[in-house]
Amino acid sequence: MHSFPMFIRTTGRRVIIAGGGEQAAQKARLVTKTDATLVFAAPELDPELAALVAAGRAVHHAQPITARVFEGAAMAFVAAGCPGIDACLHALAQAVRCPVNVVDQPALCDLTTPSIVDRDPVVVAIGTDGTAPVLARQIKTQVEQMLPPTLGGLAAFAGRMRDAVAGRVPKEGRRAFWRWVFAEEPRAAWTRGAEREAARTIKKAVAAGGAPDIGTAGCIAYVGAGPGARDLLTMRAVQRLQEADVIFFDRLVGEDVLELARRDAERVFVGKVVGAHAWPQDRINAAVVAEARKGRRVVRLKSGDPGIFGRLEEELRAARKAGIAFEIVPGVTAACAAAASLGQSLTCRGETDTLVLATARHRDDGAIADIECRVQPGTTLAIYMGVSAAAYLSERLLAKGILPGTKVEVVADASRHGEKRLCTQLDGMAGDIQAAGITGCAVIFVRTGYDRTISVDAPHAELRRA
């Protein structure tokens, strides 16, 4: 290493920012996350810096800058914007042994600013010694996904409880106690937003003199894997994958998503396919509950959002009946990903103010839903699992009064490698889908605006808005 990573205490200390323009403001945005006293050393300040001074968050030193300005400071940032002036200010800081960072001049830097993941008081700093800042930001994004936004609050609460733990929990049991706080139910509750519940649980354990015995019942997280691309998973989904002991997943969940899970997590493929199931739903329900009863953390990983055409309610009923704690982690549903791929909004003010998500198949026997009943003027109709029934759907929508030339868009495998897009018309939809070789997981969009996309002359047509 050419630089040693460490954290510099800022409480009760000054940080000097020499400069009053945009570069200085960029550094100020970073330092205002600390409790340091900020000093802006510059004749004039831009509006952002002036606002910080007016708010009492910083001090303005408008007089000539001497070495004395830097004396005793925790660190200094030089951002005057002129290489010559920056070099002179660097020399003044060096004269009083103040560590300094000079913007865009690595050779004059005693300090470099890392990419920071802030979960105060938990802080992760990522540096590349100035060689690859873009890479540092990419790593930061990955770490941001790993750490829930509420993690810092749990760490801060633990800090406030440390004296109480030292007084009530025997020394030999403290490591196990903190492991329980940060790896078991308290952290899970805190992460899902139940901070008060987690705090009560921790305080009860402290009063009892240690962590409770972990019971035999585990928990289940029904997690939305999104449409395919793993960077569309939520941060909470990634965390649940990394905590899981066993993961039950479907055919549409890709290997790159599963790579986000713990390496030693057991993975069970339940093989659900439209119209045929290697695992019947009852067997899936029973297997998921059985693993949770062993005290394991179970993730039921479903493509898209678990609550949209994922038979989630059936699995929830099984968990409730067994008395198993569960959590639902939403995901990006296919319609959202498909619309994003098309570069379109799902709704448009004054044209389509209703969004309908419909499935073409609503029973295991393959029965086709009455999609046409969902169509009204001003509607975006997103049809899931409709490719194999395209001819029937087209026939029914035409009978409803949707005009033959109505634009239809089809997106298959949205956000995945090999994604396909098709723009066609309602009357030619079935043939064009077949010709394009689109099968399986696709979303069909039919938009019926407040114009003549619905014929008023059709026998079953709805009245258009005046």
Write down the catalytic residue from 27, 86, 250, 305: 250
Q: What is the mean pLDDT of residues 331-356?
A: 94
Q: What is the mean pLDDT of residues 210-228?
A: 82
The phi and psi torsions of 113 (rounded to 5 degrees) equal -95, 125
Q: What is the mean pLDDT of residues 17-26?
A: 94
Q: Is 238 helix (H, G, I), strand (E, B) or coil?
A: helix
- The confidence band for 460, taking pLDDT boundaries of 50, 70 and 90, is very low
What pLDDT sits at residue 463? 35
What pLDDT sits at residue 365? 53
Percent of the chain with pLDDT over 70: 92
Residue 197, number of CB atoms within 10 A of its CB: 14
State the DSSP H helix or E strand holding residue 143, giving kind and residue range, or none if neither: helix 133-146
The phi and psi torsions of 359 (rounded to 5 degrees) equal -105, 140
State the DSSP H helix or E strand holding residue 358, giving kind and residue range, or none if neither: strand 354-359
End-to-end CA distance of the chain, in Å? 72
Q: How far is CA 30 from the centre of its chain?
A: 23
Question: pLDDT of 125-135, one tens digit each?
Answer: 998 877 888 99
Write down the catalytic residue from 27, 272, 302, 400: 272
Give the residue, 407 or 172, on which the prediction is more confident.
407
What pLDDT sits at residue 207? 94
Cα angle at 195 between 193 and 196, to 5 degrees?
130
pLDDT at 214 over 80: no
For residues 441 and 310, the answer to whether their CB atoms sit within 8 Å is no
Identify whether 104 is a catalytic site residue.
Answer: no
What pLDDT sits at residue 307? 95
pLDDT at 415 over 80: yes
Q: What is the mean pLDDT of residues 129-153?
A: 88
pLDDT at 334 over 50: yes
Domain formed by 219-332, architecture: 3-Layer(aba) Sandwich (3.40)
Please state which CATH number belongs to domain 14-113. Answer: 3.40.50.720
Q: What is the mean pLDDT of residues 278-304?
A: 92
- The confidence band for 35, taking pLDDT boundaries of 50, 70 and 90, is very high
Give the residue, 457 or 133, on which the prediction is more confident.
133
Q: Is 18 helix (H, G, I), strand (E, B) or coil?
A: strand
What pLDDT sits at residue 431? 96
Q: Tokens 């495998």, residue?
A: 413
Q: How does the average pLDDT of the chain come out, rounded?
A: 89
* Token pair recorded at residue 460: 């079953």
- The confidence band for 373, taking pLDDT boundaries of 50, 70 and 90, is confident
Cβ neighbours for 405, distance < 8 A, ≥ 6 positions apart: 425, 426, 427
Q: What is the mean pLDDT of residues 399-420?
A: 93
The phi and psi torsions of 149 (rounded to 5 degrees) equal -60, -25
Question: pLDDT of 63-95, one tens digit each?
Answer: 999 999 999 999 999 999 899 999 999 999 999
pLDDT at 278 over 80: no
What pLDDT sits at residue 403? 92
What pLDDT sits at residue 465? 35
pLDDT at 15 over 90: yes
Q: What is the mean pLDDT of residues 429-439?
A: 94
Among the residue ranges 43-52, 152-161, 209-218, the one predicted with the least confidence is 209-218
Give the residue, 274 or 234, on which the prediction is more confident.
234
Q: Which fold has domain 336-448?
A: 3.30.950
- The confidence band for 277, taking pLDDT boundaries of 50, 70 and 90, is low
- The confidence band for 113, taking pLDDT boundaries of 50, 70 and 90, is confident
The phi and psi torsions of 50 (rounded to 5 degrees) equal -60, -35
pTM: 0.64
Residue 347, number of CB atoms within 10 A of its CB: 15
DSSP state of 461: P
Alpha-carbon span 301 to 225, nearest angstrom: 6
The domain spans of the chain are 14-113, 151-208, 219-332, 336-448
Identify whether 272 is a catalytic site residue.
Answer: yes
Alpha-carbon span 32 to 120, nearest angstrom: 13
- The confidence band for 142, taking pLDDT boundaries of 50, 70 and 90, is confident
Q: Which residues are paired to 277 by β-bridges? A: 272
